[in-house]
Structure 1
Amino acid sequence: MEAINISARALAEYVYSSGSIEFGIRPQTAMIEGTRAHQLIQKGYHEEDRKEVPLRFEISAEGLLFLVEGRCDGLLVRDGHLVIDEIKSTAGSLEWIEADSYPVHWAQAKCYAYAIALEHALEEIDIQLTYVQRGTNDTKIFISTFSIVELEEFLHFALKVYAPFAKMKLSHFEKKIESAKRLEFPHSAYRQGQRLLAGTVYRSIKEGNTLFANAPTGIGKTISTLFPSIKAIGEGVIDHIFYITARTTTRHAAEDALSLMAANGLHLTSVTITAKDKICFKEDEGCPGEGCPFTEGYYDRINEAILDIYEHETRINRTVLEHYARKHQLCPFEFSLDVAYHADAVICDYNYVYDPRVSLKRLFDEKKKRTALLVDEAHNLADRAREMYSATLDKQGYLAVKRDYKKSNPGLSKAAGKINQYFVDRKKELEGRHAFLLEGVPEDLLEAIKEFADKAEAELVKGQEVSEELLDAFFSAQNFIRTAGFFNEKYCAYFSHERNETSVKLFCLDPSELLRKAGKAFRSKIFFSATLVPGDYFKEMLGAEEEDAVISIPSPFSREQVDVFISPLSTRYKVRDASYSPIAEMVEMLVKERPGNYFCFFPSYLYLKEVSERFNSGEEIDVLIQQSQMTEEERDQFLSNFEAGRPRSLVVFAVMGGIFSEGVDLPGDKLNGVIITGVGLPQLSFERDILKHYYTSNGKNGYDYSYTFPGLVKVLQAGGRLIRSEEDTGTIVLIDDRFLQKKYLNFFPNEWKEFTILD
C-alpha cells in the first residue's frame, strides 16, 4: 500500500477551508503576538498538563496509507479525562465567534484527538478550542466530546476528499523520480568548466553543504545548478528546489532550462511566482481586496483549481497561472502561492525566502530539510538584504493620519501626533546637517509606535474604508517594531531630513547573521554568480560558515576572443566635466572603426546624458538611451533593437548596475562591444560612510567593503554582457585611470588580462 505523509493542519485546511480571502489586517507582529497568546494560555496549564505535544498516526483510506502528524498546543488532564486544547489568536472581536464559526479549527484538533485516543485506547475524548484576542488577552472557550468512532468517521471523510489530490501527487512523484533518474545533460557536450560546476553542486546537495560558486558569465550557470539538483531529486536526496534571483531575466533563464529538460523527458512541476502588483487582474485600479470577484469564495474553488492545473501542466509560469486563475475565478497571486506549496521547483525573487515581511511562512522547516536553495546572481543579495532587514519611518504619513482622524478617532489621531511631535523635536538637533546618528533605537519613539500600531489595528479591523495614509503608516510601524527586535551591534539608527521629508531609519549594516538564520533549515544552499569576487568578502557578506566551500571556475574563453583597451582618463567627480567630450569622441571613433552594436555604461543618468548629448551619431549610427522606471515591455522592446547584421551600427547609452548591465544575454553579433565609464563606485552618501566606518572598526578595509568591491562587481557584470560563448568576439573599453591599479587588475577575468592602454 502506497504511503502519503501529510500534516494535520494541511489536511484540515484542504478539506475544510472555505469562503473568501480575508483582507483584514495581518500585521507583521501577528505571529509574535499569536505566540505570546499561546504562551499566556499555556502558562495557566496544570502541572500534569503537557504543551506542544508531537503526534503521529497511521490510517488506511481509499487504498492508501496516510501518515498524519502534527503538534497539539495542549494535552490537558481534567477530572481524570484527557482534553486536547487547540489555541487560536485573533485581532478581531471575540463576540461574533461561535462554536461552529471555524470548522477547520475543529478538524485540526480532531486529528490530534484521534492520535491521543488511539495511543491511550480511549472510547471518547474532549476537544477544547481556546480563542484569544491579541492585545486584551480575553478568551472564549468551546468544549465538545467526541467518540473514537466519530473521530474515525471524520478522518475517513476528510481523507476521501483529499484522496484524489493525494493519488495525483503520488502518480506525479513516481514519474518525477523515474524521469529525474533517466535524465541526461540536455546539451550535446559540457562547456569547459561546466561539468566541474555541476559535479560540485551535486556533491554539495548530497552532503548537505553550502557552496559559493564563482563561475564566468556565459558558462551556463543556470543549467549547471538546476541539472545536478534534479539528479539529486532522482536519487531521493531532496524533494524540492527553490531557485531564487533578483531579476526577471534570470527567472526566465531558469524557466527555459527546465523547459529544455522537460523536452528531454523530465516530468517535474515548476512554478514561477510573479509579484502581486504585476499579476493582479485589477492592477490598473489597484488590488480592491474585499469585494474582488477573484477573492470572494476563493477557498470554495481552490481545491478544484489546484487539481486542474496539476493534472494538465508542469511548466507553470505567469501565463499559465493567469489562464487557470481566470478559468476558476481566483486571485492569481494567492493562487500562485497555493500552487507553489505543492511544486517540485519554485522560481521566485529573493524576498520569498529571506524577507520576513513576505516570505513563504507556510514552507515548514521539515520541507526545507528536503529542499535545495539555489541563489542566482548572489552578488546582489547582500544589498537587497540590508533593505529587507532595515526599517524607515517618515514624518509625513503620521502627520496625515493625525489630521485625517482628528474627529473620527481622536485616540488614533493623538497616537499619530506623538510620533509626529518626535520628529518635530528631533529636527531641531540637525543644526545644518541633513542627518545624524542616534544612540540605538529611540525608546520613546518605539513606545509611541507601539501605541499607534494598537490604535491603528483596532481601526483597521472594523472593516470600514480607511485612508491609504493610515495603511502605509500602519505597515511601516509594524516593520519598525519588527526590525527593532533585530537591533544589535550590526545595526545603527539615524535621523535625517532630505527632500522635504524627515525620517528615522533602523539601518542594517551587516545582514550576514540574519541571512544565515533565514537559510539555515534548507538542506543545501548554492550561492552562484559570475562576480562573487573577492570570495572572502562575499562569504562574509552572505553569512557563510567557516567550513562552507568556495569554488572558482576558470573562464573557458580565450584572450583572443576580446580586445581590451584601457583609457587612463579620469572620471572622478571633481574633473568629470572635462571627460564628457573626450568620451563621446572615443565612442564615435570606435564605432566607426569597428561597426556593430555597442553598450556604453555610465555611473549615473546625469553622466550618461552629458556624454550622449555630445555624441555625434551622424547618418551611420542609431542611438538609444536608457530611461528610468522602464516597464518590462519597454525593456524587452529596448533589447529587441540588438539585431545581428543591422544595416546601421547601434550605440546604447545605459546605467552601470542597472537593468541592462546584468542578466542580459546578447550572443553572437547582437553585441559587438562594451564601453564602461568609471569604476562603478556607489555615490558618496551618509549610509555608505556609515558602512565604511563599521567595517573599518571591525578590522576590515572599510573603503573597499563599502565602495570598491560593490563598484568592481558592477564593472565585471557590465563587461560580462559581451562574451557569452566560445564563438563570441568583441571589444571592451574601460575608461578610468584607476583600472590600471593593482587592486582592479587582480580581479580582471583571464580574457581581460592582456590589454592596450589608449593615449
Structure 2
Amino acid sequence: MGRIREALVEQRDVLFEGACGTGKTLASLVPALEYGRAAGKTVVITTNVHQQTRQFIEEARAINAQEPIRSVVFRGKASMCHIDVGYEECQALRDTTRELVDKQQDIAELEQRESELLDASKDGNGEAAEARGAVMEELDDLETSIEALQEERNICDRYYNNLTGDTDEFYSWLYEDVRTPDDIYEYAHEANLCGYELLKDGMEGVDLVVCNYHHLLDSMIREQFFRWLGRDPEDIIVVFDEAHNVADAARDHATRTLAERTLDGALDELDECDDARAESAANVVGAFRTALVDTYEDSFGFGEREAVDEEWDDVSIDREEGRDELSVAFLQAYTGQGFDTDLEEALALGEELDRRYEQAYKDGETTTRKECPTLTAAAFIEEWMESSVAPGQYPVLGVRRTETGVVGRAELYTCLPRQVTEPLFEELHSTILMSATLRPFDVTEDVLGLEEPLTMAYGEQFPEERRRTYAVETPALFASKRDDPAVQETVGETIEDAVRFTPGNTLAFFPSYAEAERYYHRFSGDSTPYLDEPGKRAEELRQEFVADDDAVLFTSLWGTLAEGVSFDDDDARSVVVVGVPYPHLDDRMEAVQRAYAGAFGEDGDDDAGWRYAVEIPTVRKTRQALGRVIRSPEDFGARVLIDERYMGSNHAELGDYSVYSSFPAEERSEHIDIAPEKLKFAMLNFYTDMDSWGGDPPTP
C-alpha cells in the first residue's frame, strides 16, 4: 500500500501482480482513496467481470462502514432506462424536456416581475405600467410556446420530475451506502424519476466510482464520463482489475464495422432525398457496396457459400503489398469526380439529415429518433480509405447467413491495443493495473504503452505445503492428436483419476467447449458431471456445482468461469487444466502476430509476434484457471496440468513447443512432473496429509 501511494504522489502508473485471493483490491483501493481524498482526485475502479463488480461493491461497503466515502456504481443507460429508448432518442428527449422546464422557469420569473411591476404601477409609476405591458406580452408568447411543446413535441415525464421535483432525499439515500444500479432503478421506478440521469448528476466530485471497462476505453463515452465526474483526466486515478484483459478489451473497443445492411439503408435514404448532393453520396456509397459484395462473392470456392452459417466468419482480404482487396475493388468500381470529393458531400449531407431527424423527433413529428445510415456509411468509408493501410490496422471482411441470404460487413480491426490505451494512460493522473497474471511486465508495458511504471509481483502467499501442482506426462494435445483414440483414452483416464482422488469437487478446464463436451461424455466416474455450454448462463451452473459435494465441472478455458470467479474451500478442491489453450490461429491472429513482431521484435523477429500475441496470453489463461482454487491461508488443493508441454524435465526436448518457461520462476518451480499412472497415488497422499477424507479414501 505504501509503495502504491508513493507512486500516485509521483504520478506513476503501477503494474501489480498478486496471487488469487491475496487482497489486491483492498491493497490498491485503500491507498488510492486515501491519496485521492488528500489531493482532490476521484478514484475509478473498473473491470470487465461481473463477479468482480459485485466484489468491489462489497469492498466499498466495508470501507464506507469504517470511513464514510461517497461512492457510485455506474452502469450504461440501456439497462437503467424505464421507457426503453436508444441513446439518440434519450438525448433528444432530454433536450426537449429541459427546454420545457427552462421555459416554465422563465414564466415563473416573469410572473414574479409582473407582480412587482403591477404593485409599482398601482402606486402611480407610469414607467412600471409600460414595462408590465411588455412583460405580459412576453408571458403570452412563452405560454403559447409551452403549449406547443407539450402538445407537439416529445418529452420524458421521468426526467421532467428530476428537473422539477425535490431530489435531496434521493441523494441522501444514495450516499448513505454503496447503492447498486438495480437499487437505483427500483428507487427511481417507485418515485417516477429517471435513475440514470439522477446518477449522472450525482457523480460530480465523488470519491469512488465502480464501472465497466468501456467507460474508460471507448473514447466518446470516456469524454462524457469524465464530464459527469466533474473532473479533468489529470484528476482521475483508475484502478484496472483483471488487467490482463485490458489489451483485448481495448482492441475490441477500437474495432469499427460497417454492415451491408447499413449501406443498403444509406442508398434507400439517398434515393428518397431531394438534395443535389445525394447523387454524389450515392455514387461513392454504391461503389463501396458493390465492392463489398463482389469481394466476398469472389472469395467463395465450391460449396463455401452454402456452408456460411449465422455467425460472422472472416474472409481474408489482406495482401502482402499495396491495398487490401476490398479497397482495390472499391477503387475499380468507383467512377466520378473523385471519391474524396464525393465523400465530403456525403458527409455534409449525412450530418444535415441527422440534424433534421433529431429535430423532427424533438418536435414530435416522429415517435422514434431516426438514425442516418448515410452519415454512418460515409464516415466509415472515409476512415477505411485513410486507416486500412496504417500500421497496426487489419482490414477484414465478414460474412454470415440471415433470413434473406448471405450478407457481409467490412471491419477495421485494431491489432495494437496501445493505440487505445497509451493516450488514455498519458492523460490520467495515474493508473493501477492489477491481476494475478500480469507478468512478464515488460510485455505488458510494451503492449499497453506504459512508460516506466512501478512493478510489483507477489507470488503465492499461502502455505506451500497446502497445495500441489502436478504436470502430467500425457501426450501434447496438438490439434492433430486430439482425435487419436489412444490419446483420448490416456487423457480421459487421467481426468478420472484426478476426480476420483479429490475429496470434493473438481474443476476441469479445456482449450474449447468442444473438448470439454468430448470428455464430459467420456467421463464414467462416480462423481456427478456438469457441462458448461456456450450461450448458457454460467452463474446458475456454478451455483448448482458448488452446492454439490462430489462433482466435476467440464468447461472451457476461454469461458466465463476461468477467471474472476472464486471457488473457495469446499466449492472446489482440485482444478484440472487439459491441454494448452492456444486460440484459433486464423488470419486475424496472424495479423496481430505480424503487428506485434513489427512493433516489438528486432529486425522482423517473428518470435516476438508469437510470444506477445499467442504464447503469453495463452499461459495467462492457464494461470488464471489454476487460481480458481486455494483462496485463503486455510484453503488447500491440487492443480493438475494434463499435457507434457507443462513439464520442466522435457523442456529442452520439446523446444519451442514447451510452455514451461513462460510461467514465472516461482510458479514453475512448484511443477511436479509425474507419469499419468502415478497421479492418483500423489493426490491420495497429498489429501491424506491434509486429513481431508471424510471416511476411508479410495483405493488406487
TM-score, scaled relative to structure 2: 0.71
Please report how far the alpha carbon of residue 417 of structure 1 lies from its aligned counterpart in structure 2 after TM superposition.
2.6
Cα distance in 2 between the residues matched to 1:206 and 1:303: 42
Say if 1:335 and 1:413 are closer, same or farther in 2 by CA, change over 3 A: farther
- 1:361 paired with 2:230, answer no
Please report how far the alpha carbon of residue 511 of structure 1 lies from its aligned counterpart in structure 2 after TM superposition.
2.5
Task: Supply the AA of the counterpart residue of 2:446.
Answer: E
Q: Which residue does 1:191 correspond to in 2?
A: none
Cα distance in 1 between the residues matched to 2:73 and 2:380: 27
Q: Which residue does 2:53 correspond to in 1?
A: 251
Task: State whether residues 468 and 638 of structure 2, in contact with CA within 8 Å, keep that contact through their aligned partners in structure 1.
Answer: yes
Q: Which residue does 1:736 correspond to in 2?
A: 643
Gaps of 5+ in 1: 1-197
Pick from 663, 674, 678 the counterpart of residue 747 of structure 1.
Answer: 663
SS at match of 2:232: helix
Q: Which residue does 1:226 correspond to in 2?
A: 29
Please report how far the alpha carbon of residue 716 of structure 1 lies from its aligned counterpart in structure 2 after TM superposition.
0.7
Q: Deviations over 1:622-650 (max 9, x none)?
A: 222223234xxx43322222437x4x511
- Report sequence identity in percent: 21
- 1:260 paired with 2:62, answer yes
Please report how far the alpha carbon of residue 573 of structure 1 lies from its aligned counterpart in structure 2 after TM superposition.
0.9
Q: Which residue does 1:423 correspond to in 2?
A: 292
Q: Deviations over 1:452-508 (max 9, x none)?
A: 554444444333659999667755764665687777743334243543443332222
Say if 1:213 and 1:342 are closer, same or farther in 2 by CA, change over 3 A: same
Cα distance in 1 between the residues matched to 2:192 and 2:384: 37
Say if 1:467 and 1:474 are closer, same or farther in 2 by CA, change over 3 A: farther
SS at match of 1:659: coil
Map residues 504-519 of structure 1 onto 2, 5 A cutoff: 504-519=410-425
Task: State whether residues 674 and 731 of structure 1, in contact with CA within 8 Å, keep that contact through their aligned partners in structure 2.
Answer: yes
Q: Which residue does 1:301 correspond to in 2?
A: 162
Map residues 86-235 of structure 1 onto 2, 5 A cutoff: 198-234=1-37
Task: Supply the AA of the counterpart residue of 1:274.
Answer: R
Please report how far the alpha carbon of residue 679 of structure 1 lies from its aligned counterpart in structure 2 after TM superposition.
1.6
Pick from 520, 527, 533 the counterpart of residue 627 of structure 1.
Answer: 533
Task: Supply the AA of the counterpart residue of 1:658.
Answer: G
Pick from 575, 578, 582 the counterpart of residue 677 of structure 1.
Answer: 578
Please report how far the alpha carbon of residue 686 of structure 1 lies from its aligned counterpart in structure 2 after TM superposition.
0.8
Task: State whether residues 295 and 330 of structure 1, in contact with CA within 8 Å, keep that contact through their aligned partners in structure 2.
Answer: no
Q: Which residue does 1:322 correspond to in 2?
A: 185
- 1:724 paired with 2:631, answer yes
Cα distance in 2 between the residues matched to 1:705 and 1:367: 33
Cα distance in 1 between the residues matched to 2:248 and 2:523: 34
Task: State whether residues 48 and 213 of structure 2, in contact with CA within 8 Å, keep that contact through their aligned partners in structure 1.
Answer: yes
Q: Which residue does 2:564 correspond to in 1?
A: 663
Cα distance in 2 between the residues matched to 1:470 and 1:422: 24
Please report how far the alpha carbon of residue 366 of structure 1 lies from its aligned counterpart in structure 2 after TM superposition.
5.3
Say if 1:674 and 1:473 are closer, same or farther in 2 by CA, change over 3 A: farther
Q: Deviations over 1:358-405 (max 9, x none)?
A: 224352595332221111111101111112122122324313543577
Say if 1:450 and 1:357 are closer, same or farther in 2 by CA, change over 3 A: farther
Q: Which residue does 1:586 correspond to in 2?
A: 494
SS at match of 1:573: coil
Q: Deviations over 1:245-282 (max 9, x none)?
A: 11111111111111111222x11111111233333335
Pick from 558, 580, 604 the counterpart of residue 463 of structure 2.
Answer: 558
- 1:704 paired with 2:611, answer yes
Map residues 206-605 of structure 1 onto 2, 5 A cutoff: 206-234=9-37, 236-264=38-66, 266-282=67-83, 289=90, 295-296=156-157, 298=159, 301-302=162-163, 307-314=168-175, 315-361=178-224, 363=226, 367-403=232-268, 406-407=271-272, 411=278, 416-427=285-296, 430=299, 434-437=315-318, 439=322, 442=327, 447=340, 451-460=345-354, 461-462=356-357, 463=360, 475=376, 478=379, 489-499=390-400, 500-545=406-451, 547-567=452-472, 568-578=474-484, 579-605=487-513
Task: State whether residues 673 and 732 of structure 1, in contact with CA within 8 Å, keep that contact through their aligned partners in structure 2.
Answer: yes
Cα distance in 2 between the residues matched to 1:679 and 1:670: 25
Range moving further from structure 2, 299-308 or 585-594: 299-308
SS at match of 1:361: helix
Task: Supply the AA of the counterpart residue of 1:245.
Answer: T
Task: Supply the AA of the counterpart residue of 2:34.
Answer: K
Q: Which is bigger in relative contact order (C-alpha 8 A, separation at least 6)?
A: 2
Work out the number of aligned pairs and report it.
552
Task: Supply the AA of the counterpart residue of 1:636.
Answer: E
Task: State whether residues 493 and 507 of structure 1, in contact with CA within 8 Å, keep that contact through their aligned partners in structure 2.
Answer: yes
Task: Supply the AA of the counterpart residue of 1:537.
Answer: V
Task: Supply the AA of the counterpart residue of 1:351.
Answer: H
Gaps of 5+ in 2: 95-153, 302-313, 401-405, 652-657, 677-700
Task: Supply the AA of the counterpart residue of 1:727.
Answer: E
Range moving further from structure 2, 399-408 or 677-686: 399-408
Q: Which residue does 2:112 correspond to in 1?
A: none
Cα distance in 2 between the residues matched to 1:201 and 1:303: 44
Task: Supply the AA of the counterpart residue of 2:187.
Answer: Y
Please report how far the alpha carbon of residue 536 of structure 1 lies from its aligned counterpart in structure 2 after TM superposition.
0.6
Say if 1:497 and 1:229 are closer, same or farther in 2 by CA, change over 3 A: closer
Q: Which residue does 2:542 correspond to in 1?
A: 639
Cα distance in 2 between the residues matched to 1:325 and 1:682: 44
Task: State whether residues 584 and 611 of structure 1, in contact with CA within 8 Å, keep that contact through their aligned partners in structure 2.
Answer: yes
Say if 1:580 and 1:399 are closer, same or farther in 2 by CA, change over 3 A: farther
Task: State whether residues 619 and 662 of structure 2, in contact with CA within 8 Å, keep that contact through their aligned partners in structure 1.
Answer: no
Cα distance in 1 between the residues matched to 2:70 and 2:385: 39
Say if 1:294 and 1:338 are closer, same or farther in 2 by CA, change over 3 A: farther
Please report how far the alpha carbon of residue 582 of structure 1 lies from its aligned counterpart in structure 2 after TM superposition.
3.5
Task: Supply the AA of the counterpart residue of 2:68.
Answer: H
Cα distance in 2 between the residues matched to 1:393 and 1:687: 17
Task: State whether residues 559 and 751 of structure 1, in contact with CA within 8 Å, keep that contact through their aligned partners in structure 2.
Answer: no
Say if 1:226 and 1:691 are closer, same or farther in 2 by CA, change over 3 A: same
Q: Deviations over 1:393-435 (max 9, x none)?
A: 2324313543577457793766643331231454477486931
Task: State whether residues 676 and 735 of structure 1, in contact with CA within 8 Å, keep that contact through their aligned partners in structure 2.
Answer: yes
Which of the pair has more CA radius of gyration?
2
Task: State whether residues 531 and 554 of structure 2, in contact with CA within 8 Å, keep that contact through their aligned partners in structure 1.
Answer: yes
Say if 1:480 and 1:324 are closer, same or farther in 2 by CA, change over 3 A: farther
Please report how far the alpha carbon of residue 564 of structure 1 lies from its aligned counterpart in structure 2 after TM superposition.
1.9
Cα distance in 2 between the residues matched to 1:468 and 1:587: 56
- 1:715 paired with 2:636, answer no
Say if 1:580 and 1:755 are closer, same or farther in 2 by CA, change over 3 A: same
Say if 1:361 and 1:497 are closer, same or farther in 2 by CA, change over 3 A: closer
Please report how far the alpha carbon of residue 748 of structure 1 lies from its aligned counterpart in structure 2 after TM superposition.
4.7
Q: Which residue does 1:67 correspond to in 2?
A: none
SS at match of 1:369: helix
Please report how far the alpha carbon of residue 311 of structure 1 lies from its aligned counterpart in structure 2 after TM superposition.
1.7
Please report how far the alpha carbon of residue 312 of structure 1 lies from its aligned counterpart in structure 2 after TM superposition.
2.2
Greater share of strand:
1
Task: Supply the AA of the counterpart residue of 1:270.
Answer: S
> RMSD of the alignment, in Å?
3.4
Say if 1:260 and 1:593 are closer, same or farther in 2 by CA, change over 3 A: same
SS at match of 1:663: coil
Say if 1:212 and 1:294 are closer, same or farther in 2 by CA, change over 3 A: farther
Cα distance in 1 between the residues matched to 2:369 and 2:495: 48
Q: Deviations over 1:670-728 (max 9, x none)?
A: 11111112222111111110121222234251111121111111111111111211111
Range moving further from structure 2, 297-306 or 354-363: 297-306
